[in-house]
Amino acid sequence: MVLAAMVAGAALAQDEPTAAENRAGPDLDSEHLFGFTEGTDLGVPGELELEQETTGRIGKRGGAFRAFDPTLTLKIPLSESFRLAPGLSFAAYEVARGAGLPSSGRGGFNGAFLETRARLLDRRTAPIGLTVSLVPSLGTIDAGTGLSARSHGLEAGLLLDRELIPGRLVGAVNLTYAFARTRPDGVDAAELASGLEVSGALAYRVRPNVFLGGELRYLRAYDGIGLDRFAGEAVYLGPTVYASVSDHAWVSFTWGVQVAGRAVGGPGPLDLTSFDRHQARLRIGYSF
């Protein structure tokens, strides 16, 4: 959070717009303008991008829960409409026994994933931008508890965006389905889970190199990989900030707070069993 504020502050202090900022009209790259929500752009063919992303999840019912999930991704646009992005994931967990989970504190390498994106509609020539995304993954840590496990999953997304005011105001909507199969170490039976997410975001250009906005997300959790048994739901609301700090580097940050939700069989107005009280994401990218 402090790093994002420092970088954004440095970006605000720039007097002259860079070449990347001057492209904020028809060549605006929408992918990173938001928080958890993403735009439909894929990057420039022949130009690689290295992205470091850290997601923080804080707060479970009944005790302390802190999880940080860094990833490192190399994005490789193969054409104007297709991109591959292999990546590595890491994890750091601190869970108190009072959270109803085994006490644990650990961190290290988690696994790998491969993001595949195909753009079906380009918002520059169509009413909206439309991109589909598939991300298979393998992991060695249970995302819910931080304990050792063997897991694999798939996330499928449909991304839409539109420049509501060209070069100035951009909106995006994401629809996501995900499932995972997790087998904790020492346990014979695997746990199956799936989920749905609908998110929307707006980003407004307040300086040549800075966008500020807001994001609303609705998530549902299920037992079983086919949305079999409803387990809970949550609504997150939070601000977003994006800044390009040079022709090749950028940073974005968001912090979402669960403002509504419910868990099946759980007390209280929020779902702090399947979901977290706070979810934050910091991204830093460099193209070359």
Segment 107-117 shows an average pLDDT of 93
**Whether residue 14 has pLDDT greater than 70:** no
Class of residue 15 by CB neighbours under 10 A (exposed 0-12, middle 13-18, buried 19+): exposed
pLDDT higher than threshold 80 for residue 8:
no
Q: Which residues contact 189 (CB under 8 A, 6 or more apart)?
A: 183
- Contact (Cβ atoms closer than 8 angstroms) between residue 77 and residue 51: no
Whole-number Cα distances in Å, 24 to 86, 110, 135, 247? 28, 37, 29, 12
> According to the model, what pLDDT value does residue 235 have?
98
Summarised one tens digit per residue, pLDDT across range 17-51 is 444 443 334 468 999 999 999 999 999 999 999 99
Share of the chain above pLDDT 90, in %: 73
Tokens representing 46 are 């022949």
Nearest to residue 260, comparing CAs of 245, 275, 249?
275
Of residues 57, 54, 77, the one with CA closest to residue 65: 57
Reduced to 3 states, what is the DSSP secondary structure of residue 52? strand
With beta carbons less than 8 A apart as the criterion, state whether 254 and 34 touch: yes
Q: What's residue 267's pLDDT?
A: 81
